[in-house]
């Protein structure tokens, strides 16, 4: 059998990977392609997605292709030492003693291949295959290590491009999966707001996750709601009014500064494919709160109010929220009430019902 192997961090697996895999299979007439997520790439920072998530994203992209298999050789390597390709190749040679092995990589790696551990030995054990990659020149390694160079239309999909907020480098199913698992959100949310608000957003998301984890609530959901809670806050005013009239006409008469709790929910669904009702509700309830606050809603509400980047000492309230989010939430309602009275600020009427229910009424759920 002719077997291809492609290793990578696949964080995430993108359309460039899919293209070079499909081209190799057809041009070299391969029977099978092993896609091998690496455990730890000595040249790269840590992965954002975990092993299962990276594999799920490979399957989502490669759906319909029957010739690929995931190889867990590197992931399951029990040592905590760095993985070197030569060791993996030796394992593969034992697993496939009488097959032809083709080891595939992009020119970014092939042009540095002389620095790999046991480069010469690798090139004798397997047939190396290289693909051109935008921004990387072909060099003498191609001849020295007997690479098969596959002529192709070079495209510049990369994991880095995705992390810079470019959406179309991955399959849409991967993007949906990633956002719904809270992956790479920072890279995209950044584009919706100023630097100051972005820093606040990240800080809220992490604090909300902490509150959630301490209170037996899903931390990933809290993180996602935190990351998306303010995405509509800097929306153009005309667009904001247009969307309010179209989707939330019942709230158009509410004060303008609270529109974003509904419009961020709208964008979370439209731009980030969030469908989880609990997450959407936490975004909707983050500014004014509501009569039906879940614990998740409370985590996001309190994290937003207590974000240390707001510049006052909120450490006591933060400690209370970690211990008991309901008590922390009640405390925040009281603080908001006292603060607004003190500053003679208008309080939206809906607040009083919430205040009454949670702070004056008998509310111990
Ligand atoms: N657009 C592309 N063109 C050619 N080769 C690519 C492309 N994207 C990735 N590769 C190759 O796929 C392998 C795995 O890449 P990986 O490290 O997971 O992704 P990336 O390099 O995009 O961060 C590497 O050998 C890399 O050179």
Which letter does DSSP use for residue 100 in this model? E
In sequence order, which ranges of 84-194 are alpha helices (DSSP H)? 85-95, 107-110, 119-125, 141-144, 159-163, 172-180, 185-189
Instruction: Give distance in angstroms: CA of 201 to centre of ligand 1.
Output: 31
Whether 365 has a pLDDT exceeding 50, the answer reads no
- 319 Cβ contact list (under 8 Å, min separation 6): none
User: Taking the CB of residue 185, how many other CB atoms lie within 10 A of it?
Assistant: 21
- 116 Cβ contact list (under 8 Å, min separation 6): 84, 85, 86, 122
Task: Identify the band that residue 347 occupies on the pLDDT scale cut at 50, 70 and 90.
Answer: confident
Whether 43 has a pLDDT exceeding 80, the answer reads no
Whether 298 has a pLDDT exceeding 90, the answer reads yes
- Contact present, 284 and 262 (Cβ < 8 Å): yes
Q: What percent of the chain has pLDDT over 90?
A: 82
Q: Which of 161-170, 179-188, 327-336, 355-364 has the lowest mean pLDDT?
A: 355-364
| pLDDT at position 44 | 58
Name residues contacting ligand 1 (CB within 6 A): 6, 8-10, 16-17, 20, 105-106, 108-109, 131, 133, 155, 157-160
Domain map of the chain by residue range? 2-176, 184-360
Fold matches, 2-176 and 184-360 = no
Q: Can you tell me the distance from the alpha carbon of 296 to that of 294, in angstroms, rounded to the nearest whole number?
A: 5
What does the pLDDT average to over 325-341? Answer: 93
Question: Which residue carries 């209170």 as its tokens?
Answer: 215
| Reported ipTM | 0.90
Instruction: Give distance in angstroms: CA of 12 to centre of ligand 1.
Output: 10
Ligand 1, atom 22: closest residue by C-alpha:
158
Q: How many CA atoms within 13 Å lie on the side-chain side of 275?
A: 3
In degrees rounded to 5, what are phi and psi of residue 15?
Answer: -70, -20
Angle at the Cα of 81 (from 76 to 86), degrees rounded to 5? 75
Sheet hosting strand 68-70, strand order edge to edge:
68-70, 32-37, 2-8, 100-106, 127-131, 148-150
Q: Which of 32-46, 104-118, 203-217, 259-273 has the lowest mean pLDDT?
A: 32-46
DSSP 64-95: T--SEEE--TTTT----SPP-HHHHHHHHHHH
Mean pLDDT rounded to a whole number for the chain: 93
| pLDDT at position 30 | 97
Secondary element (H or E) of residue 314: none
Whether 223 has a pLDDT exceeding 90, the answer reads yes
Ligand 1, atom 7: closest residue by C-alpha:
16
Task: Identify the band that residue 242 occupies on the pLDDT scale cut at 50, 70 and 90.
Answer: very high
pTM over 0.80: yes
Instruction: Give distance in angstroms: CA of 295 to centre of ligand 1.
Output: 42
| pLDDT at position 47 | 63
CATH number corresponding to 184-360? 1.10.3210.10
Distances (CA, A) of 255 to 48, 242, 348: 39, 15, 8
What does the pLDDT average to over 44-69? Answer: 90
| pLDDT at position 340 | 87
What does the pLDDT average to over 3-8? Answer: 97
Q: What percent of the chain has pLDDT over 70?
A: 97
Question: Of 3.40.50.1370, 3.10.450.750, 3.40.50.620, 3.40.50.12160, which CATH number belongs to 2-176?
Answer: 3.40.50.620
Work out which ligand 1 atom sits closest to the CA atom of 44: 17
Whether 296 has a pLDDT exceeding 60, the answer reads yes
Work out which ligand 1 atom sits closest to the CA atom of 10: 18
Work out which ligand 1 atom sits closest to the CA atom of 161: 22
Instruction: Give distance in angstroms: CA of 29 to centre of ligand 1.
Output: 21
What does the pLDDT average to over 101-127? Answer: 96
Whether 46 has a pLDDT exceeding 80, the answer reads no
pLDDT digits (tens, 9 = 90+) for 128-154: 999 998 889 899 999 999 999 998 887
Instruction: Give distance in angstroms: CA of 150 to centre of ligand 1.
Output: 14
Ligand 1, atom 6: closest residue by C-alpha:
106
What does the pLDDT average to over 248-272? Answer: 96
Tokens of residue 175, six digits: 């993007």
Task: Identify the band that residue 341 occupies on the pLDDT scale cut at 50, 70 and 90.
Answer: confident
Instruction: Give distance in angstroms: CA of 16 to centre of ligand 1.
Output: 7
Ligand 1, atom 2: closest residue by C-alpha:
16
Ligand 1, atom 10: closest residue by C-alpha:
106
Residue with the larger pLDDT of the pair 3 and 42: 3
Instruction: Give distance in angstroms: CA of 146 to centre of ligand 1.
Output: 20
What does the pLDDT average to over 328-337? Answer: 94
């Amino acid at each position: 059998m002719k077997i291809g192997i492609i290793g990578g961090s696949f964080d995430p697996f993108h359309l460039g990977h899919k293209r070079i895999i499909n081209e190799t299979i057809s041009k070299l007439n391969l029977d099978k392609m092993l896609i091998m997520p690496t455990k730890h790439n000595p040249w790269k920072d840590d992965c954002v997605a975990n092993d299962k998530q990276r594999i799920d994203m490979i399957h989502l992209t490669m759906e319909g292709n029957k010739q690929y298999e995931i190889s867990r050789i590197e992931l399951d390597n029990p040592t905590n030492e760095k993985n070197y390709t030569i060791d993996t190749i030796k394992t593969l040679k034992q697993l496939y003693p009488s097959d032809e092995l083709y080891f595939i990589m992009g020119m970014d790696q092939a042009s540095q291949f002389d620095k790999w551990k046991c480069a010469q030995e690798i090139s004798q054990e397997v047939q190396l295959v290289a693909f051109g990659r935008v921004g990387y020149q072909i060099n003498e390694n191609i001849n020295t290590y007997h690479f098969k160079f596959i002529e192709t239309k070079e495209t510049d999909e990369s994991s880095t491009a995705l992390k810079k907020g470019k959406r179309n480098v991955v399959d849409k199913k991967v993007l949906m999966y990633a956002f719904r698992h809270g992956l790479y959100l920072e890279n995209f949310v950044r584009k919706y707001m100023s630097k100051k608000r972005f820093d606040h957003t990240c800080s809220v998301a992490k604090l909300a996750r902490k509150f959630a984890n301490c209170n037996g609530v899903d931390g990933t959901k809290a993180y996602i709601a935190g990351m998306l809670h303010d995405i509509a806050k800097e929306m153009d005013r005309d667009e904001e009014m247009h969307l309010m009239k179209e989707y939330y006409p019942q709230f158009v008469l509410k004060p303008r500064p609270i529109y974003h709790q509904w419009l961020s929910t709208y964008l979370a669904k439209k731009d980030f494919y969030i469908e989880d009702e609990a997450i959407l509700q936490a975004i909707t309830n983050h500014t004014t709160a509501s009569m039906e606050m879940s614990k998740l809603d409370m985590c996001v509400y309190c994290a937003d109010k207590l974000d240390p980047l707001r510049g006052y000492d909120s450490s006591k309230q933060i400690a209370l929220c970690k211990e008991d989010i309901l008590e922390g939430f009640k405390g925040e309602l009281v603080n908001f009430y006292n603060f607004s009275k003190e500053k003679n600020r208008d309080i939206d009427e809906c607040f009083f019902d919430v205040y009454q229910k949670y702070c004056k009424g008998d509310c111990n759920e």
